[in-house]
Amino acid sequence: MEVDILEFRVPVDNNKTVFVWDIQPFLTEAQIYEELFAVFSSFGPLYLLKVCPNAPLHPPGFYALIKFYSAVQASNAQRLTDGRPLFQKSALKVKLSSKQTPHFLSSSLPLSHTRCLDLANHYLGFDGWTSDIITLKELPSEEDEGGDEEEGGVRRKSLKFGCLVKLCFAHHGLSTRGAAVLEDTFPLTGPDVVLQRRCKLQRLVREKALVQAFSSVLLVILGSPSPPGNRKVMVELKATSDRFGPDDETEGILQVNEFFPPADEEENEELALLQEASIGVNEAVL
């Protein structure tokens, strides 16, 4: 029986990356994207599909970089599509990446909030998991002791929020928790700025806490992906030192948890993506 294990982390392993060459320039870049997505997403959910024009010194055409969450699905996709025309008259060359994962990408980042939801919904369904906020509260910041800061004649305000969430998989009898603390310092440029920043920070800290909860979750995929009825999905939890037990006290957890900057949720994820894509470009045009 085929077994695959998926984590809620950015896939960086070379055995999850597929390159497609010899794409003829008879379709637009957008049309090629749609055709490739239709073919390769049938093997499993895609983390990335990027279509690029060939380098200037090469014949006109395109190549594509496709990244799966699953090494098994990437291997199946490569084996069943290599040497086939798929959506054009001439055969395509489809190969797994042969580049070794560089050291700075060897420890992948957690998936963004949006991608966590997409992956969970794909394998578990919309009713296969639930999340609940246990604690969401404003925490005192360092600036609170001395009042609002002033920089260059402009007053600045600091906000800090902590959140603790519970992530449940009722069908599997499992639950885990995630916590996050976010702090934001900003200039007081208008009467509504504090309310706007407060609402945004509350949303971001909830999302970060849920992302941390998902980071301890493993999806175990059993059986063949086709037909879908032959596939069984199980949920397991990683044994980590920062896991919260079901009866753990919540008081004080937020004060000791890691701090995250209030950046856009996919900022770090996109940075890793751009670094890896730049490595793959040289391989794809050879």
pLDDT at residue 279 above 50?
no
Residues of the chain with CATH 3.30.70.330: 11-98+271-284
| Nearest residue to 190 (alpha-carbon basis) of 157, 224, 230 | 157
pLDDT at residue 127 above 60?
yes
Residue 35 CA to residue 131 CA, distance in Å, equals: 35
Give CA separation, 139 vs 2, 136, 150, in Å: 48, 10, 21
Mean pLDDT within 95-121:
80
pTM: 0.80
177-206 confidence digits (pLDDT tens): 999 999 998 888 777 888 999 999 999 999
E strand or H helix that includes residue 115: helix 113-124
Residue 153 pLDDT grade (very low, low, confident, very high; cuts 50, 70, 90): low
pLDDT (0 to 100) of residue 105: 53
Q: Give me the torsion for CA of 192, 197, 198, 204, rounded to 10°.
A: 150
pLDDT at residue 226 above 70?
no
Residue 94 CA to residue 106 CA, distance in Å, equals: 24
Contact 161, 181 (CB under 8 A): yes
pLDDT at residue 260 above 70?
no
pLDDT (0 to 100) of residue 102: 54
Name beta bridge partners: 49: 66
- Does the domain at 11-98+271-284 match CATH 3.40.190.10? Answer given as no
Residue 164 CA to residue 161 CA, distance in Å, equals: 10
